[in-house]
Every structure is written in C-alpha cells, then in structure tokens.
A and B are shown apart, each in its own frame.
Chain A
Amino acid sequence: MLLDLPFVAVGLIAVIGLGAMIAKKNLIKVILGLGLLEGAVNLFLVAVGYRQDGIAPIFTNAPEGVMVMPTVQALTLTAIVIGVATLALLLTMAMAIHRHYKTLNVERIVKLKG
C-alpha cells in the first residue's frame, strides 16, 4: 500500500484542486484549482507508466536496465501543453472580466442568468 504513494498523492492533489474550484470565490483561485486538477491528472499519467527500477526510455549512452513506458510520457507532455494553453486563455478571460466588471468574485460575475 505504501508503495502506491504516488497514486495517493494524485488523489489528494485532485481533491484539493476540486475543492478550490468549488469552494473558492475568487476567479483566479478557481482557475488555479483547475491547474491543480490538471497537475494531478498529469502526475497520474506519468506514474502509471513507471516500472520498478526503470530508466528513462532514451538510448543515448543508456545504462543497462528496464525502460519505463514511453507512451505515457508523450501523453503527459501533450496534456501539459494543452493545460498551459487552457490556463492562458482562462486567465486572459479573467483579466478581461475584471476590467469590465471590476470584480473577480464569482458570485458577482452573473450578468447572465435566467
């Protein structure tokens, strides 16, 4: 059970991120919660591909040993860049909203309803 610590960490980070997204009132903090959730998912992806005592799957001057799974690393890389793009767009929108509404409180950013 203790050996599965990375998965426990994933669960905890995801719960913290989710909690921030649901409970926080500040839009920036909500977006940061999303960032945490994203970090958890990426960590999960990388952790899934680890093999006991594995080395990086790169043959340049590689030592002897079993290699960890390369696919998940590629997926994580892709997911990280997608996450960066998402966060950039969300933060920009938050900036634009703050400029027009003069607030970042999610409870007051509700001109659209009904």
Chain B
Amino acid sequence: MRALISLAIFLLMAGSFLHVALSDELSFGNPSRTEMDDYFIANGQRQTGANNIVAAVLFDYRGIDTLGEASVLFVAVLGVGLVIRRAMAPGSEGDGERGESP
C-alpha cells in the first residue's frame, strides 16, 4: 500500500517534471519576457557603480534576498551547533524529565 502511494506520487511528479521539460512553451536561449533584466543591464552600472551586474542585482536591487540568505546560513550554523552540542552532551536527556524546559 505504502509502496503504491509512493509510486503514484513519483509518477505524478516525474510526469509533471518531464511535461515541463518537454513543453513547447519553453525554449532554451529565447526568454520570452526580459523587461526587468534589460533594465538591470541598461541601468545597473550607472545606478550602483558595479560592473558586475549579477553583484548589483544580488546586493542592490535584491539586497533583502541576500540578507535573508545570509540569515539562512546563520540559522544552519546555529542549528548544527545546537544539535551537535546536545548530541555530544554526556548523560541522558530524558523524555519529559521533571524540570526539563517546556
């Protein structure tokens, strides 16, 4: 039963991925709408002073994305540190031990 469900999910998703990949609506090398990117290429250098337009997009036009991404990395470090320190701590961390933090 579980295997059947897994197979069904897999086939459904694989089908949709391949449908997208083989779709006529996508064509490699000819993006259909480019206004935003053309704006970056035309004005990015003048507005931000950076020759590298990717860097200009990353840190100026979409700066908050980059801040968020740096935060994700920070979260990962905190999480890794937390899990590993807890896993190495000697003694038991019992289930629902009295006084255990809620």
Contact = CB atoms under 8 A, between A and B. Distances in A.
Interface in A1-58: 1, 3-8, 10-12, 14-15, 18-19, 22-23, 40, 47-52, 56-58
A85 B37 contact: no
B31 interface: yes
Interface residues of B, number: 46
Interface in A64-99: 67, 69-71, 73-75, 77-78, 81-82, 84-86, 88-89, 92-93, 95-96, 99
11 contacts: A7-B22, A11-B18, A18-B10, A57-B54, A58-B52, A69-B34, A70-B41, A71-B40, A74-B54, A82-B72, A95-B84
Interface in B28-83: 28-31, 34, 36-37, 40-41, 44-45, 51-54, 56-58, 62, 65-66, 68-70, 72-73, 75-76, 79-80, 83
Interface centre among A8, A70, A71, A81 (most CB of B within 10 A): A70
Contact of B41 (A3, A67, A100): A67
Given A51-B29, A70-B40, A81-B72, 10 more contacts: A1-B22, A11-B20, A12-B21, A15-B17, A57-B54, A58-B54, A71-B40, A78-B58, A85-B72, A89-B79
